[in-house]
Structure 1
Amino acid sequence: MVLGLGLPLGLAWAPAAIAAPVSWKEVSASEEGQQWWDEGSLRRSREGYLSVLSRFKPEDSSQQGSLYVMEINCSEQRFRDVSVNGLPRFKAPWQSAAGDTLISEVIEEACAAGAPLLAAA
């Protein structure tokens, strides 16, 4: 019984130990809305890509915003959303920004900030 209670408590502390402060960076707004990426969330994924948390707020205030975990292939300037609003997207396809200035700027800025993480591999 003691072991059963100790394990969940031990796991509860683990995320706090590795959490980084949130540091939202806004990219230039577009007609579609606003987008931010969190500098504190930058990580190198197991596959060697850059992982970053981003959020999007549509221009239309009647629509709800979204929170994404993006993986970015900086060398190819492509991305995939591996989580949307906390729900995993398994086998998410790689995409280009395809003229989306918000995504393009997130990729550009996050890759510049994450370059030391990718180089350390």
Structure 2
Amino acid sequence: MKQLLSTMVRRFAALLLLVLVLTAQAGASLAGPVDWHEVPSTSEGRQWWDGGSLRRSRGGNVSVLSRFQPAVSEDKPRPVSDLYVMEIACGEDLYRDTSINGLPQFGAEWQPAAGDSLISSMIAEVCDDAASQLP
């Protein structure tokens, strides 16, 4: 009984989060078309960011929708792209994924780019664009 209740609570929480994410994405989709900018690809894959999704977060950082597609490999000949909402601390060269494929990542930790050239390129491009577009 306890396990059934726990499962029901998890399912309800997941459904509630899905509704909240879809509601938030519906509002974002009304803002305009997606404006994908691709950063230089690497052996790890390809990465894009949406110029129309740039926003200032409550903490003064930059929030952006991004898309990552792993490189083609034998076991993944047609890799699937994942969507991320990233928060970027431009002055500190840090980022955190606040949503992955529409699922909120509560308590996401700040991470350095740590030599990942896809992330480093994206942070640089997003921060440059945000500096000229956002208040």
2:8 match:
none
Contact 2:46 / 2:70 at 8 angstroms: preserved in 1?
yes
Contact 2:28–2:53 (Cα < 8 Å) also in 1: no
User: Please, which runs of 5 or more residues in structure 2 have no aligned partner?
Assistant: 1-22
CA distance in 2, matches of 1:71, 1:117: 16
User: Among the aligned pairs, what percent are the same residue?
Assistant: 57
Identify if the C-alpha distance between structure 1 residues 16 and 35 changes in structure 2 by more than 3 Å, giving closer, same or farther: closer
- The letter for the 2-side match of 1:44 is R
Ranges in structure 1 where 5+ consecutive residues have no aligned partner: 1-10
CA deviation after TM superposition for structure 1 residue 18, in Å: 5.0
| Deviation beyond 6 Å, 4+ runs, structure 1 | none
The answer for the alignment partner of 1:72 in structure 2 is: 88
Residue 51 (str. 1) matches residue 63 (str. 2): yes
* Contact 1:44–1:117 under 8 Å retained in 2: no
State the TM-score, normalized to the length of structure 1.
Answer: 0.81
- Say if 2:116 is the partner of 1:100: yes
**Larger helix share, 1 or 2:** 2
Amino acid at match of 1:107: I
Compute the displacement of 1:46 (Å). Answer: 1.2
Alignment RMSD: 1.9
